[in-house]
């Protein structure tokens, strides 16, 4: 018989399981190295490259062609990581010991550190699969309407200190997801055009008001603004989210204490 004479006593089941384990180990190795394309080479506290970056070696450089004619990107690359580095961080190590926590040295709400930190993302709007801007004001979307829940438009906005600081004038919608991402706020209830965006997940919509606990009255002027009246870039999104998140600890000096007020 062909099978008996050719394979003899060879165990096909054993070969199959060993081939599976070899394939699985190779897959794990591949995925782990591909995961190291961004954020590497690593850095130590003195901005140097550690001697032992990882148990696995860095993958070879690979060049990606970005969509919509936005050029190319080669990773992993020290030049690429250097271009994303923020060298103006107002932080200082709390002690000379390696691994000690870093503490803010200036105004953390403005310096963007700690809970208020942000990543240097592309300063361009996020696009959908068809190349259209994803997040747009609802006022520019005639086909969109509220199908459930409370409509926040026209409601006053109250901060964590109970002060009324403005009124909601519009909602910014993630068009492909049909999801509200931001509320548009006018800092003057009478309408001065001094607009700010409120992340939807940082706001609580009540029957007669919208409450944002993370900021106090004196913080609202510092909320990052958008360059465009009807678009928000990835970088602006990150800065806005970071500002509101940072307010949970830095809005007042009392919030940096052991117990939050």
Say how far apart CA 161 and CA 217 lie, in whole Å. 7
Q: Within 10 A of 58 (CB to CB), how many other CB atoms are there? A: 15
Whether residue 194 is contained in a domain is answered as yes
pLDDT at 209: 94
Beta strand 156-159 with 164-174 is antiparallel
Say how far apart CA 37 and CA 60 lie, in whole Å. 9
Say how far apart CA 112 and CA 6 lie, in whole Å. 70
Whether residue 149 is contained in a domain is answered as yes
Whether residue 32 is contained in a domain is answered as no
Residue 191 has pLDDT above 70, yes or no: no
Whether residue 198 is contained in a domain is answered as yes
One DSSP character per residue, the chain reads -HHHHHHTT--HHHHHHHHHHHHHHHHHHHHHHHTTSSS-S---TTS---S---SSPPPPPEEEEPGGG--EEEES-HHHHHHH------EEESSSSTTPPEEESS-HHHHT-GGG------SSB-B-TTS-BSEEEGGG-TT----SS---TT-EEEETTS-EEEEEEEEEEETTTTEEEEEEEESSTT--S-EEEEEGGG-EE-SS-EEETT--GGGGGGS---SSSS--BHHHHHHHHHHHHHHHHHSSGGGGSSS--
Whether residue 35 is contained in a domain is answered as no
Whether residue 248 is contained in a domain is answered as yes
Read off the pLDDT of residues 151-169 as tens digits, 9 standing for 90 and up.
Answer: 999 999 999 999 999 999 9
Instruction: Locate 21 and state its tokens.
Output: 């384990």
Whether residue 96 is contained in a domain is answered as no
For residue 133, give the CATH number of its domain: 3.90.50.10
Domain residues for the domain of 213 are 121-252
- Enter the pTM of the model: 0.77
Read off the pLDDT of residues 58-111 as tens digits, 9 standing for 90 and up.
Answer: 888 888 888 877 788 888 877 777 777 777 788 888 888 877 888 888 888 888
Q: How confident is the model at residue 134 (pLDDT cuts 50, 70, 90)?
A: very high
Q: Across all residues in the chain, what is the average pLDDT?
A: 85
Whether residue 241 is contained in a domain is answered as yes
pLDDT at 44: 66
Residue 52 has pLDDT above 60, yes or no: no
pLDDT at 261: 53
Q: How many domains does the chain have?
A: 1
Residue 178 has pLDDT above 80, yes or no: yes
Average pLDDT of span 189-202: 83
Read off the pLDDT of residues 136-147 as tens digits, 9 standing for 90 and up.
Answer: 999 999 988 888
pLDDT at 47: 60
């Amino acid at each position: 018989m062909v099978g008996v004479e050719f394979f003899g006593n060879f165990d096909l089941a054993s070969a199959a399981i060993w081939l599976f384990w070899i394939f699985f180990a190779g897959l794990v190795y591949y995925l782990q190295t591909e995961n190291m394309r961004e954020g590497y080479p690593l850095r130590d506290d003195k901005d140097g490259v550690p001697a032992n970056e990882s148990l696995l070696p860095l993958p070879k450089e690979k060049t990606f062609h970005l969509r919509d004619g936005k050029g190319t990107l080669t990773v992993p690359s020290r030049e690429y990581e250097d271009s994303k580095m923020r060298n103006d961080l107002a932080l200082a190590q709390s002690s000379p010991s390696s691994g000690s926590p870093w503490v803010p040295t200036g105004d953390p709400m403005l310096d963007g550190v700690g809970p208020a930190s942000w990543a240097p993302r592309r300063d361009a709007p996020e696009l959908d699969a068809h190349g259209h801007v994803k997040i747009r004001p609802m006022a520019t979307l005639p086909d969109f309407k509220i199908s459930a829940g409370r409509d926040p438009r026209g409601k006053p906005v109250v901060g964590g200190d109970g002060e009324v600081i403005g009124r909601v004038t519009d909602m910014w919608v993630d068009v492909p997801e049909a999801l509200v991402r931001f509320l548009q706020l006018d800092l003057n209830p009478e309408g001065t055009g001094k607009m700010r965006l409120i992340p939807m997940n940082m706001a609580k919509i009540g029957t007669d008001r919208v409450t944002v606990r993370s900021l106090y009255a004196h913080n609202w002027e510092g909320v990052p603004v958008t360059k465009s009246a009807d678009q928000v870039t990835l970088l602006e999104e990150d800065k806005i989210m970071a500002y509101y998140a940072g307010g949970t600890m830095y809005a007042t000096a009392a919030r940096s204490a052991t117990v939050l007020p």
